[in-house]
Amino acid sequence: GENVEQHPSTLSVQEGDSAVIKCTYSDSASNYFPWYKQELGKRPQLIIDIRSNVGEKKDQRIAVTLNKTAKHFSLHITETQPEDSAVYFCAASIEYGQNFVFGPGTRLSVLP
Amino acid sequence: DSGVTQTPKHLITATGQRVTLRCSPRSGDLSVYWYQQSLDQGLQFLIHYYNGEERAKGNILERFSAQQFPDLHSELNLSSLELGDSALYFCASSAGGGDGNTIYFGEGSWLTVV
């Protein structure tokens, strides 16, 4: 089955700096890669996703890149703000295959 | 609001007891997933149902069971509860074959076993 690894497990950046979180997956059939943000005690919320027919997707300060050959994808957050502090989870799935595997999460702290 | 409804929001119960957690998916979603999140841990996949049928099973204990009903709501039953079962239990839903595979989480059910 699919296995998703995520690095780093914790990340501290200064406000205004960029943050990058990387995930690798094992199943070459996976073709849908969402990212979720979870604040303390809250539900994970989708922040951005990418499908395998696209190499990069951007939404304001957030971008995701995908390298299908290497089987890894990354989340980039620019101009970080304190409210970006949260745990971020990546996931991989086979679209229409209906199985979601999450990475172990990255705790991002943005220091003022 | 994701449209996924979970009840109860909080539950405190004693060891050895049994509880049922309920989930109503977003309108039109056929897939329901259950995840367990212990304190400061990741999202542990428990089970996935699609249109009433079990589709995938994760590391779900034998003391736990789930089902999805004809109206598509789902219940997660936890029995012979142990202290280690204390966790936040999330339900998520997706269209599951419709316009994509994005899953949306409910607010979760906090279970405390004392």
Give the pLDDT of residue A98. Answer: 55
Residue A74 to residue B65: CA distance in whole angstroms = 35
Average pLDDT over residues B12-26: 97
Q: How far is A53 from chain B (nearest CA, A)?
A: 14
B38 Cβ under 8 Å from any chain A Cβ: no
Contacts of A49 in chain B (CB under 8 A): 102
Over chain B, what is the mean pLDDT?
Answer: 91
Is the predicted pLDDT of residue B13 greater than 60, yes or no? yes
Instruction: Find the largest Cα–Cα distance for chain B.
Output: 43
Give the pLDDT of residue B36. Answer: 95
Q: B105–A44: do the CB atoms touch at under 8 Å?
A: yes
Q: How far is B105 from chain A (nearest CA, A)?
A: 6
Q: Which of A100, A101, A102, A107 to mutate to test the interface with B (most CBs of B within 10 A)?
A: A100
Q: How far is B1 from chain A (nearest CA, A)?
A: 10
- The strand pairing partners of A83, in sequence order, are none
Strands (E) across chain B are located at 5-7, 10-13, 19-24, 31-37, 44-50, 53-57, 64-68, 74-78, 87-94, 104-105, 109-113
Q: How far is B94 from chain A (nearest CA, A)?
A: 8
Closest partner CB to A49 (pick from B88, B96, B102) = B102
Inter-chain contacts counted by CB atoms under 8 A, chains A and B = 59
Contacts of A89 in chain B (CB under 8 A): 42-43
Is the predicted pLDDT of residue B80 greater than 70, yes or no? yes
Give the pLDDT of residue A94. Answer: 74
Is the predicted pLDDT of residue B96 greater than 80, yes or no? no
Average pLDDT over residues B43-48: 90
Using only C-alpha atoms, chain B has a radius of gyration, in whole angstroms, of 13
Check whether the bond before B8 is cis (ω within 30° of 0). yes
Per-residue CA distances from A17 to A61, A64, A88, B29 (Å):
11, 17, 17, 39
pLDDT cut 90: percent of chain B above it = 74
Q: Which 3 state secondary structure label does DSSP give B79?
A: coil
Give the pLDDT of residue A97. Answer: 55
Give the pLDDT of residue B98. Answer: 39
Q: A45–B96: do the CB atoms touch at under 8 Å?
A: no
Is the predicted pLDDT of residue B97 greater than 50, yes or no? no
pLDDT in tens, chain A (112 residues): 788 999 999 999 999 999 999 999 998 888 889 999 999 889 999 999 998 877 899 999 999 999 999 999 999 999 999 999 999 999 998 765 556 789 999 999 999 9
Contacts of B97 in chain A (CB under 8 A): 96, 98
